[in-house]
Structure 1
Amino acid sequence: MTVPTATALDAETPGAAAASAAPRPPAGKSALAHIGASFAMFRNRKSLTGLAILGFFVLLAVFGDLIAPYGPLEKDYSALKQPPSWQHLLGTSHMGEDIFSQIIYGTRGVLVVGLLSGVLATAIAVAIGVTAGIVTGWKSESLSALTNVFLVLPGLPLMIIIASQFEDPSLLLIAAVLALTGWAWGARVLRAQTMSLRNRDFVQAARANGEPLGRIITVEMLPNLMAIIASSFVGTVTAAVLGLTTLAFIGVIPITNLNWGTILFWAQQNGAFPDYWWWYIPAGLCIALLGMALSLINFGIDEYVNPRLRSAGERSRALRKKGMTARGAVTAVRTAPGAPGRGTASSASSPASGTADSPTRQENL
């Protein structure tokens, strides 16, 4: 008995040779596709718009020394409370300080505190939330109780009490205070999602193979939690920015920590409302724009995480490519091949429309 060779098998099996000769994608391409899939949450219009606005503020913070025409505390006593002009684009304060330069320099403090607070709060939320979700018994209940305590604590009074204990708190200390009061919500969400993941088949298989708990968390669970972690990070940064400007506006943070809230504080203290609009409206608009940018990024991440929102977004984008809107119902009437056109005598003499013998059919797009 002779064993058929591979060439003979390919000749006998239709398409086998073509399948074996088909080019395989290079390894580098699959790696790039995996990296691209990690950033798929930032591909929709909401996320791109939010990233563009956030990138604008990041450029202001990084290159503020080159963009600002004056120093943040440089005074021009010949121009006190002057409206916007070519010399001072956003007017001046009661001491002749350029508002435009103060806003540019204040951007750096806002972003530094927001990002540091977001990183610290997210790290605490991941450590406590994932651990509380993977362990069982009294350990899980204790971590859950700790999270619940920080959830019900009043955030703003606690921030005021802690920040007021220091005469000149640094940006790192302010970020730590904001992170201490803002990690609990992310930890609660991560705990619930981790409890759902720990009963999945791939996690149970890893446990059956004897893999250590640390590897199960870092390799098996964290990649499936990255979208939720990103959403928690963006939400924490938003809360930290609002908390920083609130603390500066009410005078808890010293005036040496220049930010947008400090500008609003001095505007209120010197009676800028409502006549000297250039003193407080630009700072308020910057806070609103940064909050909107972070919210748009968060909406984009939510659309990526939620399967229903993701499928609805993909369907809407597909309809827009065809020149249609997702909200409009369009009914296209197509004539069957070989049937007489609409408006002829044969179609008019049809006894009933919509039956099996009707030459036309309706298709809802």
Structure 2
Amino acid sequence: MTNIQPVTGPAVEDPTELLAAADGEQGGKPRSAWRLMLPTMTPWLALGLVLVGGIVLYGTVARFFVGDPDAIRDIGMTGPSRELLLGTTQTGQDVFAQLAHATWGSLQIGFLVGVLATVLSAFFGIYGAYLGGFADEAFSLLSNVFLVIPGLPLVIVISGFVPRESRGLWTIAVVLALTSWAASARVLRAQTLSVRNRDYVAAARIAGERPWRVIAVEILPNLLPVLASQFVFAVIAAVLGEAGLSFLGLGASNSSTLGTMLFYAQNGFALPLGAWWWFLPPGLIIALLGMGLALINFSIDEIINPKLKNVRLHRRRARLLAKAEKRAAAA
């Protein structure tokens, strides 16, 4: 009697495995709590990390390998060449060397403002909402006052009253931080009021835990994605705000930033003279840094708002199922 072997076609992926892969639960192992607090790697997040990482690496390392950015030569307003990659300014200064130091200065201001604004918003938003009562009302009133006052005119007025010789990186960072924390504090207050009423927070308070420990251990971990998003947004606003102040002549007088480069390029008539190598590179770095941070912030938003992540997962599931059905039909 002849054995009849069954005819087998090409292997077709199991749709359940495809859905598990789409959900990031390969092997049936659920992701840890800390992994759930990190953004999912996507092409947009990868692009943002590459842009920000490249600019940070350039601003941190390149300044040690370039010449003196203030050295004056007798070859003013020359275009890019093999010796001078980005040409020279009107007074013969190396634009590439200036760009490396200016990038580092802008990154410093962005980081300082991000840290200061996040600390201020966390104190007035989280601590005030946890205490409640008069403290919460007072902090909310202060936040509303800063929200009502227009930010840019306030920054210009404060910077205008600071003497030019005292207007350094720290001064500009403090001015920008004082005018950019209120909106984040309102968001953190609303989130804290929601978390404060949960059972595990109430249990910690009944157990006699100190307020700072309840905030640090029970409340703060739930707000880390929001804090990270606000930090990134504060860095973007700080870099753009500093560039605007410097372009108006109100920036750091004793430091080099991307904004001061644009200011001196404007005063040196770089645009009418066609010296694109003087003003285009700093403007391009500001734009790329802002775009990279924005892409990272969009990925963090998926943690804060799960609906955004669910939409992306549903689209991926639909593509994977369509691919599986197509292969099954072809088999």
TM-score band by shorter chain is 0.7 to 0.9
Task: Tell me whether 1:75 sits opposite 2:72 in the alignment.
Answer: yes
Residue 167 of structure 1 is matched in structure 2 by 164
Residue 363 of structure 1 is matched in structure 2 by none
**% of aligned pairs identical?**
42
Q: Which amino acid aligns with 2:238?
A: A
User: 5 Å matches for 1:322-361?
Assistant: none
Deviation at 1:62, TM superposition (A): 1.8
Residue 16 of structure 1 is matched in structure 2 by none
User: 5 Å matches for 1:231-270?
Assistant: 231-270=229-268
State the secondary structure of the residue aligned to 2:56. helix
Deviation at 1:33, TM superposition (A): 4.5
Change in Cα spacing, 1:72 to 1:143, as seen in structure 2 (3 Å) is same
Task: Tell me whether 1:145 sits opposite 2:141 in the alignment.
Answer: yes
User: 5 Å matches for 1:60-139?
Assistant: 60-68=58-66, 70-77=67-74, 79-139=75-135
Q: Hey, what's the Cα distance between the residues in 2 that align with 1:49 and 1:124?
A: 30
Deviations 1:54-75 (A, max 9, x none): 111221222123342x321122
Q: Which amino acid aligns with 2:72?
A: K
- Native 8 Å contact 2:78 2:87 kept in 1: yes
- Native 8 Å contact 2:172 2:252 kept in 1: no
- Native 8 Å contact 1:76 1:95 kept in 2: yes
User: 5 Å matches for 1:244-323?
Assistant: 244-274=242-272, 275-318=274-317
Deviations 1:139-175 (A, max 9, x none): 2111111001111222222222322322222212211
Q: Hey, what's the Cα distance between the residues in 2 that align with 1:192 and 1:80?
A: 56
Deviations 1:9-47 (A, max 9, x none): xxxxxxxxxxxxxxxxxxxxx9x9455444x22633333
Q: Which amino acid aligns with 1:307?
A: P
Change in Cα spacing, 1:320 to 1:84, as seen in structure 2 (3 Å) is farther
Gaps of 5+ in 1: 1-29, 325-329, 336-365
- Native 8 Å contact 2:114 2:177 kept in 1: yes
User: TM-score, normalised on structure 2?
Assistant: 0.82
Residue 21 of structure 1 is matched in structure 2 by none
- Native 8 Å contact 2:168 2:253 kept in 1: no
Larger Rg belongs to: 1
Q: Hey, what's the Cα distance between the residues in 1 that align with 2:145 and 2:109?
A: 24
Q: Hey, what's the Cα distance between the residues in 1 that align with 2:275 and 2:100?
A: 19
Q: Hey, what's the Cα distance between the residues in 2 that align with 1:204 and 1:270?
A: 63
Residue 216 of structure 1 is matched in structure 2 by 214
User: 5 Å matches for 1:25-44?
Assistant: 33-38=32-37, 40-41=38-39, 43-44=41-42
Deviation at 1:267, TM superposition (A): 1.3
Q: Which amino acid aligns with 1:76?
A: R
Deviation at 1:331, TM superposition (A): 7.7
User: TM-score, normalised on structure 1?
Assistant: 0.75
Q: Hey, what's the Cα distance between the residues in 2 that align with 1:321 and 1:84?
A: 49
Deviation at 1:282, TM superposition (A): 1.1
Deviation at 1:316, TM superposition (A): 3.8
Q: Hey, what's the Cα distance between the residues in 2 that align with 1:306 and 1:76?
A: 55
Change in Cα spacing, 1:267 to 1:194, as seen in structure 2 (3 Å) is same
Q: Which amino acid aligns with 2:283?
A: G
State the secondary structure of the residue aligned to 2:270. coil
Task: Tell me whether 1:203 sits opposite 2:201 in the alignment.
Answer: yes
- Native 8 Å contact 2:169 2:252 kept in 1: no
Deviation at 1:103, TM superposition (A): 0.8
Q: Which amino acid aligns with 1:182?
A: S
Deviation at 1:207, TM superposition (A): 2.6
Q: Tell me whether 272-281 or 174-183 shows the greater mean CA deviation.
A: 272-281
State the secondary structure of the residue aligned to 1:101. helix
Deviation at 1:104, TM superposition (A): 0.8
State the secondary structure of the residue aligned to 2:152. helix
Higher relative contact order (CA 8 A, sep 6+): 2
Deviation at 1:210, TM superposition (A): 3.0
Q: Hey, what's the Cα distance between the residues in 1 that align with 2:44 and 2:129?
A: 31
Deviation at 1:323, TM superposition (A): 8.4
Change in Cα spacing, 1:117 to 1:208, as seen in structure 2 (3 Å) is same
Q: Which amino acid aligns with 1:247?
A: L
- Native 8 Å contact 1:47 1:301 kept in 2: no
Q: Which amino acid aligns with 1:303?
A: E
State how many pairs are aligned. 298
Residue 50 of structure 1 is matched in structure 2 by 48
Deviation at 1:308, TM superposition (A): 0.7
- Native 8 Å contact 1:303 1:313 kept in 2: no
